[in-house]
Structure 1
């Protein structure tokens, strides 16, 4: 029996917040500090209420004043306090301090932890809902190198008091999960929302690090956030690391391409390059403040049944290797993507897509759940200064090139479509590469799976090399 499990078996199936805190408090080996800034000391409050807190709580601090905070944790170069770097400074400082002040000779079995959060709750005008960072450094064995779990949250409740309560519950779930569910990170993530719901609080970024998580791929953990309904979108940078979407999108011009990217092909790259050229020429677009997002939807990942995690990672690896930001989302309709981006920027946005996708956008059946139908959806889609950059389609039977000028939409939608066309909201990509129009991602993928030759010429050279070197997109038996 491990040090963590000692004397705790009677609590095996009890999951209330009170019993989670009591289980930790009664474990004589779990001992640590709480540093909470911005929403009171809501997490540690639960431990005080549970009983027997003296065996768990070494110290609790709320360095609310900025000068005191700077004096303890150091100055932030950005001057901002609700940041990941601030949270890490707090965690590292408190972890070092407990090691210095508590004798290992006297307490050889202690499992130290440092829990911290830095948050901003809703403002008095209720225009800004608030957000925050919280995390924990912890040990599962005495003297072990610390492992860490760091989260970013968005508050959705309209009361600071309710936000504080939700933060306290999430903090308890995090500490409990770190000690009792660390060996199954997927379950740990799921139980972070015990006694919570995503209409109260949202986790939109997560990172697991340290010795107990050395086999964890954080991109898969982000995928779990979407699968469990904990957030609507997650993002990876070109290095393949989880990042906070707001840090990439804030006040940026955003061009988005949605696809399966299974794998990314020369069509995708030609569409991206030509759309970006047009986008950068827009009057309201600052090329230096422009970001391109390659988006894969959850429904796309599920297109052939349950999500194949290896397949998902293969796609992400290839896109990131080409230097792109990748977003995985639960947004089936494009207007939801635009609404999401609009939370972070008021600058020009663009969507690059093929003809078949544009035809789908103008299909009324996708908007029957809206009281205002397609008109409501298009009001949300185009209420900002947004443009669609349309890549042509080659009719495989006739050889005809289909553009915005000759594509067929339903007669009921014809005037609506003409309105957006006349107002220059749909822009044709005209200087495309004709020879790539015959390339289809699904066919390329099948050629790779079947071991056929010739697919290498249909995708970027770097992508082909990586697929071969890492044996990507192969059958499990191959």
Structure 2
């Protein structure tokens, strides 16, 4: 039996935080608990102050003491408290208590929920601005399983009190959106910033789960975060779920390969495998602490105009099928990517790229917005513990271009030599010559033209997936007609 939750019409004026909390409070069916750790009870405070809270709040608590928290939710293996694992334990524990203490025969129409957050606000020295996990586990139908929305946030404000207030607004937006915009998850996502500014808060991870979100692909939701300017980069694992970049990259050696992967080809995989073999042989690189990333930039996704989300999903599915972790970023310039990595690790990093990409790095036009120009960018790029692994390019006459003979602008020649001969740029020599003539754009054209000789340009299993899922415009019927 579904309990009706009337949705909002699109309004010109964003409802106030008080009116959002009040609307939840006046809904006779919505009932649940709040468990907040680390930044006060800022979300539940909005509901208490709005009025009518007795119809919504079954319990509000803050287990601030670590021993109390461990006694209630258990001890984490890593002994940490501001983690996704801790948040999920909180949500599950509180929902189980609701179900145990409020019998269904007595409350047949109640839509139970549990809101939780575990947060660290800015430290006293103002060195770390703070972050946290926020989540909601809730029902839309009392006879249906629970739905979940879990997000990770980073504070940008420099005052703990302001961060607390920001958290309270975000939590209210989340609860309101979950009940009244669950059927429009993209709008739900945008409404998280109602009465907030992107200078106050960054959302860098979100995952939806449950029956009302069964058709939501979390990778697509990740893309929305970057498109909406909520964060500069998101990451998803081979299983397709969004993961927290900080958790994946912390103190790791990082090897990144940027490309269009439209589709991923044998040359992409050859670049990855050969650069990886070289990378793990480097000093200070531990194989077991090395993270490989396939990166797609937002500008690359926009190369054909507006972002084609189906095209994005096609690329994502193929990379995940190959067991790769994917980073979607808003970093057009490589130095910004390296700066981003440097937030999480001081260990050695590697960038694998083709000749044209390296030539672009030495093009001054990309750095005119910097007061120090290209030298400032290179200070951020090459003076990190970084190495570029360069894959050769085959020219029309059959000759090869590599780090020894590539041509940069005459003004950049000495600068390039400096980095080249200081070991910052190294050639991939153990490449497969057969792959040098493989280009994604050629494969894509052959697929769209219904030709049949593109399969051998792709890694094993990729062509089969393209055909089965009709990716990149592949149409089996069109091929059959041509046969």
* 8 Å Cα contact 1:8-1:23 kept in structure 2: no
**Equivalent residues in 2 for 1:206-217, closer than 5 Å:** 206-217=206-217
Corresponding residue number in structure 1 for 2:447: 448
* 8 Å Cα contact 2:114-2:138 kept in structure 1: yes
Corresponding residue number in structure 2 for 1:436: 435
The alignment status of 1:405 with 2:409, answered yes or no, reads: no
Q: How many residues align?
A: 477
Shift of 1:258: 0.2
When residues 246 and 231 of structure 1 are mapped into structure 2, their CA distance, relative to the original with a 3 A threshold, is same
**Equivalent residues in 2 for 1:303-342, closer than 5 Å:** 303-342=303-342
* 8 Å Cα contact 2:339-2:380 kept in structure 1: yes
* 8 Å Cα contact 1:292-1:325 kept in structure 2: yes
Shift of 1:112: 1.0
Instruction: Give the Cα separation in 2 of the matches to 1:57 and 1:466.
Output: 49
Corresponding residue number in structure 1 for 2:20: 20
**Equivalent residues in 2 for 1:37-76, closer than 5 Å:** 37-76=37-76
**Equivalent residues in 2 for 1:373-384, closer than 5 Å:** 373-384=373-384
* 8 Å Cα contact 2:254-2:349 kept in structure 1: yes
Instruction: Give the Cα separation in 2 of the matches to 1:432 and 1:2.
Output: 59
The alignment partner of 2:31 has SS state of strand
Corresponding residue number in structure 2 for 1:205: 205
Corresponding residue number in structure 2 for 1:265: 265
Shift of 1:142: 2.2
**Equivalent residues in 2 for 1:450-469, closer than 5 Å:** 450-469=449-468
Q: Deviations over 1:107-126 (max 9, x none)?
A: 32211110000011111111
When residues 10 and 186 of structure 1 are mapped into structure 2, their CA distance, relative to the original with a 3 A threshold, is closer
Q: Deviations over 1:361-395 (max 9, x none)?
A: 11000111111111111111122110101111111
Shift of 1:475: 5.7
* 8 Å Cα contact 2:270-2:432 kept in structure 1: yes
Q: Deviations over 1:218-243 (max 9, x none)?
A: 11111111110111111111222211
Instruction: Give the Cα separation in 1 of the matches to 2:455 and 2:11.
Output: 57
Q: Deviations over 1:268-313 (max 9, x none)?
A: 1111111111111111111111111000011111111222222111
The alignment partner of 1:148 has SS state of strand
**Equivalent residues in 2 for 1:104-115, closer than 5 Å:** 104-115=104-115
Corresponding residue number in structure 2 for 1:83: 83
* 8 Å Cα contact 2:87-2:118 kept in structure 1: yes
Range moving further from structure 2, 118-127 or 459-468: 459-468
When residues 412 and 98 of structure 1 are mapped into structure 2, their CA distance, relative to the original with a 3 A threshold, is same
When residues 9 and 235 of structure 1 are mapped into structure 2, their CA distance, relative to the original with a 3 A threshold, is closer
Instruction: Give the Cα separation in 2 of the matches to 1:351 and 1:461.
Output: 24
When residues 116 and 268 of structure 1 are mapped into structure 2, their CA distance, relative to the original with a 3 A threshold, is same
Which segments of 5 or more consecutive residues in structure 2 lack a partner in the other structure? Answer: 479-483
The alignment partner of 1:461 has SS state of coil
* 8 Å Cα contact 1:152-1:203 kept in structure 2: yes
The alignment partner of 1:264 has SS state of coil
Q: TM-score, normalised by structure 2?
A: 0.95
Instruction: Give the Cα separation in 1 of the matches to 2:401 and 2:51.
Output: 71
* 8 Å Cα contact 2:238-2:321 kept in structure 1: yes
When residues 467 and 11 of structure 1 are mapped into structure 2, their CA distance, relative to the original with a 3 A threshold, is closer
* 8 Å Cα contact 2:155-2:202 kept in structure 1: yes
Q: TM-score, normalised by structure 1?
A: 0.96
The alignment partner of 1:81 has SS state of coil
Corresponding residue number in structure 2 for 1:123: 123
Shift of 1:39: 0.6
The alignment status of 1:368 with 2:368, answered yes or no, reads: yes
Corresponding residue number in structure 1 for 2:481: none
Instruction: Give the Cα separation in 2 of the matches to 1:99 and 1:293.
Output: 42
What's the C-alpha RMSD, in Å, of the aligned pairs?
A: 1.9
